[in-house]
Structure 1
Amino acid sequence: MAKLIQSDLDHCLDVTRRGKSNLWFVGRSLPGPRRAMFASAYASMRVVDDFVDDEFLVLPDDERLRRRSDAHKRVDGWLTSMEAAICGNADPAKMEIAFPDPRIQRAVAACFDGGDIGPGPWQLLARSMHRDIDETPFGDWDDFIDYCEGATVAPASIFLYVIAADLNGPPSTADRLPAQAADCVRDMAIFCYLVHIARDIIKDAAAGPALLTIPDDVLHTHGLTRTDLAGAVRGGSDRRLRDLISDLAARAGDYRLRGEGWRDRLMPLLGLRERAAFGALMTVYGALHDRLKDDPGFALDRDPEQREELRRSVLAAADIPF
């Protein structure tokens, strides 16, 4: 069995804390072995997403066109290294040159050695990253949901695997999770993603149309396009923008209702600390969702401290350090 190197784990923990996401905060509260699994898997996904969003999509138009093929190759290289780590056939010598970072590949290989998770979540994320690189438009809601399978359902499925797996031998959820767990992950992940989109609409619109994942048909319903959404955000008081946030919150509510039903069935299958982490994650997003429903203008507040204070209070109530 591959041995986890502490410096590799420390590097993964550094990568996961960069964005200080809600998932990172609750992941810190997991017991040791599960925290290591979560950190390595989340870091492996964080690096490829950061490459696409923060390195490639922010380039000027002509530069993105010139470097698009290379960007696809980098994502392919990332996926190859992660498939090798998950499937247990990573060559230690090749790990030294693996993209994006051999430390992450080694940590994933050690934490998931012999497990039954399979490479599916990483393959789905790669598919969504390729779509981002191609800047394929989201024409309708079905396009958006298809994209979500990699962008948010895949990381969520890993999180559920980590908190539910039997670790008495090689990691396994084969006899611990019902078949409906996949439906739970999908509904809850899409709920959280929609809340995230509504909450960060100012930041994403300012970054440019390439980073907006709101489907065109939803924008058109409110008389908006990707291009003029940025103008509406700068104005801040545009009624169309508030209506759009209300729309996203309402759509999120449908997924929340179903997801919370699945959550209640899954909770008894988890350990005490794992249950607390899972519950805290959903409580944070639930509190954000409630606030957005009550006041769509909450997402347009230029002072991020309000949002941070809400998250801080929810995590504190769940006894999770901020």
Structure 2
Amino acid sequence: MTLTDFTQKLDYEKVLTNPILDTAACFWDDERYEAFKICYKSMRSVDDMVDNLKAKGNKISEADKQQLKTLVCEWLKAIDSWTPRDSVQKQLIETMTKFKIPSWPWQKLSEAMIYDLDNEGFDTFEIFLKYSEGAAVAPGSIFMHLCGVNKDNGDYNQPSFDVKEAAYPLAVFCYLVHIVRDFQKDQNENLNYFASDLLAENNLNESMLKEIAA
């Protein structure tokens, strides 16, 4: 795809809501881009389950927490054991096999989702960065993995570099951009990604963020 093709194809209104990595992946060939979409969709599905529950605004009951934790663990177990529970997971595992994608990004994402269920926000920016390893670096690593695989005699080879190390700065930067971009939407859906220590340093609190976003 040329730059002209890309700019003509791009839906500029969706740039305000679409993941940055998805926009970047549009430059790839169809096979590689489809692989990214399949992997990202699987991650988005479990992330949305947690976010949608928190967006209701009520305190999450222990029963709901446990039910969702069980779903997340079962979802991960199916991927780790290569035993798909439905057609979506089957397609995902086929894609992981074809492109030699490891399962650790889904493990990290699951850890982040469990954190989301057990906690309200982040006491420190350091805790936020640890959380970002699942919420941002995991999908970013899949993007970087697909950037690095090469096709040889019809088969894809592993990237020749450390995927997680390469993805980390890109993924965290994109995540911070997303958080700023989606500030109003997230606040209105009871989602806060600003660490308490940073808020305190700037004489802010969560109630003030709500007022700013209103």
TM-score by shorter chain over 0.5: yes
Distance 1:79 1:192, change over 3 A: same
Aligned to 2:180: 198
Aligned to 2:132: 148
SS at match of 1:138: coil
Aligned to 1:172: 157
Asked whether the equivalents of residues 41 and 108 of structure 1 are also in contact (C-alpha less than 8 Å), the reply is yes
Asked whether the equivalents of residues 56 and 189 of structure 2 are also in contact (C-alpha less than 8 Å), the reply is no
SS at match of 1:171: strand
Determine whether 1:188 maps to 2:173. Answer: no
Matched residues, number: 197
Determine whether 1:46 maps to 2:44. Answer: yes
Deviations 1:99-149 (A, max 9, x none): xxx222111122222654321100000000011111254111110110010
Tell me which of 74, 82, 96 is aligned to 2:79.
82
Tell me which of 74, 97, 103 is aligned to 1:119.
103
Cα shift at 1:39? 1.6
Aligned to 2:6: none
Q: Which runs of 4+ in 1 moved over 4 A?
A: none
Tell me which of 5, 17, 20 is aligned to 2:18.
20
Give the superposed CA RMSD: 2.0
Which of 1 and 2 has greater Rg?
A: 1
Cα shift at 1:25? 2.8
- The TM-score normalised by the length of structure 2 is 0.83
Percent sequence identity over aligned pairs: 27
Determine whether 1:72 maps to 2:52. Answer: no
What amino acid does structure 2 have at the position aligned with 1:40?
I
Counterpart-to-counterpart distance in 1, 2:175 and 2:36: 19
Asked whether the equivalents of residues 43 and 104 of structure 1 are also in contact (C-alpha less than 8 Å), the reply is no
Counterpart-to-counterpart distance in 1, 2:72 and 2:207: 27
Counterpart-to-counterpart distance in 1, 2:72 and 2:155: 28
Tell me which of 49, 57, 61 is aligned to 2:58.
61
SS at match of 2:102: coil
Asked whether the equivalents of residues 96 and 102 of structure 2 are also in contact (C-alpha less than 8 Å), the reply is no
Aligned to 1:110: 94
Asked whether the equivalents of residues 36 and 111 of structure 1 are also in contact (C-alpha less than 8 Å), the reply is no
Counterpart-to-counterpart distance in 2, 1:83 and 1:139: 31
Counterpart-to-counterpart distance in 1, 2:117 and 2:156: 33
Asked whether the equivalents of residues 40 and 139 of structure 2 are also in contact (C-alpha less than 8 Å), the reply is yes
Determine whether 1:233 maps to 2:210. Answer: no
Counterpart-to-counterpart distance in 2, 1:185 and 1:63: 33
Counterpart-to-counterpart distance in 2, 1:143 and 1:178: 27
Deviations 1:248-285 (A, max 9, x none): xxxxxxxxxxxxxxxxxxxxxxxxxxxxxxxxxxxxxx
Counterpart-to-counterpart distance in 2, 1:143 and 1:58: 22
What amino acid does structure 2 have at the position aligned with 1:233?
A
Counterpart-to-counterpart distance in 2, 1:163 and 1:114: 14
Determine whether 1:128 maps to 2:112. Answer: yes
Counterpart-to-counterpart distance in 1, 2:135 and 2:32: 22
- Note the residue ranges of structure 2 that are not aligned, 5 or more in a row: 1-16
Counterpart-to-counterpart distance in 1, 2:60 and 2:125: 30
- The TM-score normalised by the length of structure 1 is 0.57
Distance 1:143 1:187, change over 3 A: same
What amino acid does structure 2 have at the position aligned with 1:50?
D
Cα shift at 1:84? 2.9
Determine whether 1:162 maps to 2:168. Answer: no
Deviations 1:267-312 (A, max 9, x none): xxxxxxxxxxxxxxxxxxxxxxxxxxxxxxxxxxxxxxxxxxxxxx
Counterpart-to-counterpart distance in 1, 2:213 and 2:100: 45
